[in-house]
Amino acid sequence: MRMSHHFLPGQGRQIGKTILPVIVFTLALTVLLAGFAAGRAAADGQDLPYTDRYIDLHLHLDGAITLDVAKQLAVLQGYPLPEDRDEELEKYLTVPEDCESLNDFLKCFELPGYLLQTPEGLREAVHLVADSISSQGVIYAEIRFAPQFHTKSGMTQEEAVQAALEGLKETELKANLILCCMRGEGNEVQNEETLALAKKYMVEDGGVVAADLAGAEALYPTENYRELFAKAKELGVPFTMHAGEASGPESVRLAIEYGASRIGHGVRIFEDPELVAMVREKGIALEMCPTSNRQTHAIADMAEYPFMQYLEDGVKVTLNTDDMGIEGTTLAKEFRYMEENFGLSPEQERIVLANAVDAAFTTDETKDRLREQLGLPKGTVIELLEDTLPEAS
C-alpha cells in the first residue's frame, strides 16, 4: 500500500481548529532557530553549515557492535570469533544494503549477543560504543539494552545493569541508559524485574533514566503490556515505547494512553490523521530511524517516508540510528541521507536537534549545556515561543 500524507475528506472539520496554531507555531519556530543560526553564520562570515554535532536518543547496545568493537570484546573475554578475515566477519554483524527480510536483520544480533554475556563484556561494550559515537560527532546519547538478554551465562539482570553503569563511567561522552522490557511470551517475571531495576537505579542524569518496551510489535501487541506500564507510571519511571513500526497506529495510541512521553519509530502514525494531531498536541517525540526503517521494510517505499511531512506538521521528530552496527550507519550518515534524499535543510536540522534536546531524559542543566554546544538558544522550544504565539481568542 502506498502511503499518503494528506488528510482524508471529511476529517478537515475534526482538525481544522488546530491548523492555525500549528502553522503559527511551526513558522515561529523556524524563524527563531533559523534566525539565530543565520546570525551565527553571518558573524562567522560564511553560509549556514549543516550540523556536525548530534544527539542519539534511540540506540540499541547490541545493535551498535561494529567490527572493531566485536574484535576487542572477543580478545577481552578470550572468545573465538566465527571468522578470521574482517570481510567475512562483517557479514555476521552488518546486513547488506539490499537487506531483503527482517530475518536477515535479526540474524545479525546473534554474535553481539554472544559477546555480551559477562560483566566485563557488557561494561566494555558500553564504553567502546560510547567512545565510538563520540568520535562521530555525537554529544549526547541514550543507550538502551534489555538486561534479560544478558543472563545466558549466569549474569543476573542486576549485574548487567551494574556492568553497563560501570561502562558509562569509563567514557567522556555524556550518555544515559534506558532499560528495555521485551515483548514476548513467558517473560512476564523478567519484565517486572527489569522495571524494578529501572526504579532502583533511576537517576536524573548519569545512569538509568527511563524504561522502554521493545521487540516484535506485530506478534505481541501493545495491549498485552497495559499492566506493566501502569506499574511503571505508578513507580514514576518515565518511558518510551517501540510502536507504530511493525504494527499500525493503534500501538502508538495505546503507548500514549499508557503514559509514554516518546515513541520509538512511530513511522506509521500517518495512517491515522487524528493520531498525528494528538502526537503533535501532546508534544510526543518520535524517535525516527530512516536506515532502520528502510532495511526492515517498515516502509514499503522510502520515497514516501513521512519524516519531512511530520516535521512540517509540527510533530516533534528526531533522527537516530537504532542499530548502527547492524545497519552500517552513523548518525552523521542519517542526517546526510535526509539532506540528500529529502532536502532536509540546515534550519530544519536545528529544529530536529532542538526537538531531541527537549525530549531527552536528562536534567534541564544538561539540556542547556547541549543547546550551547549545538548553538541553540537556552530554554525549551515552548518557552522560547511563548512571546511569539498569538493569544487565544
Q: What is the pLDDT of residues 199-216, one digit of tens each?
A: 999 999 999 999 999 999
Listed range (103-112, 140-149, 248-257) with the worst mean pLDDT: 103-112
Residue 58 has pLDDT above 70, yes or no: yes
Is 3 inside a domain boundary? no
**In this predicted model, which residue has the larger pLDDT, 277 or 104?**
277
Closest CA to 64 of 120, 127, 157, 153: 127
Closest CA to 313 of 342, 356, 264, 278: 278
Could you give the number of structural domains in the chain?
1
Q: For residue 382, what pLDDT band results from cuts at 50, 70 and 90?
A: low
| Average pLDDT along the chain | 87
Closest CA to 241 of 217, 207, 219, 271: 217
Q: For residue 378, what pLDDT band results from cuts at 50, 70 and 90?
A: confident
Give mean pLDDT, residues 184-198. Answer: 97
**In this predicted model, which residue has the larger pLDDT, 147 or 31?**
147
Is 263 inside a domain boundary? yes
> Which is catalytic among the residues 124, 142, 217, 245?
245
Residue 40 has pLDDT above 70, yes or no: no
d(CA 250, CA 243): 9
What's the pLDDT score for residue 218? 87
Listed range (1-5, 46-50, 85-89) with the worst mean pLDDT: 1-5
d(CA 190, CA 200): 15
Residue 385 has pLDDT above 60, yes or no: no
- Domain span at residue 92? 14-385
B/e letters for 354-380, b = 16+ CB within 10 Å, e = fewer, are bbbbbbbbbeeebbbbbbeebbbbeeb
Is 124 inside a domain boundary? yes
Is 7 inside a domain boundary? no
Listed range (21-35, 129-143, 279-293, 339-353) with the worst mean pLDDT: 21-35
d(CA 359, CA 270): 21
Is 238 inside a domain boundary? yes
Q: For residue 7, what pLDDT band results from cuts at 50, 70 and 90?
A: very low
Is 1 inside a domain boundary? no
**In this predicted model, which residue has the larger pLDDT, 355 or 99?**
355
Give mean pLDDT, residues 12-17. Answer: 40
What's the pLDDT score for residue 9? 30
B/e letters for 77-97, b = 16+ CB within 10 Å, e = fewer, are eeeebeeeeeeebeebbbbee
Cell of 82: 566465527
Q: Is 97 a catalytic residue?
A: no
What's the pLDDT score for residue 62? 97
What's the pLDDT score for residue 345? 96
Residue 82, Cα to own-chain centre: how many angstroms? Answer: 31
Is 194 inside a domain boundary? yes
Listed range (10-19, 246-255, 277-286, 320-329) with the worst mean pLDDT: 10-19
Residue with cell 548518525: 331
What's the pLDDT score for residue 42? 36
Is 2 inside a domain boundary? no
Residue 44 has pLDDT above 90, yes or no: no
Rg (CA), the chain: 21
CATH number at residue 77: 3.20.20.140
What's the pLDDT score for residue 390? 44
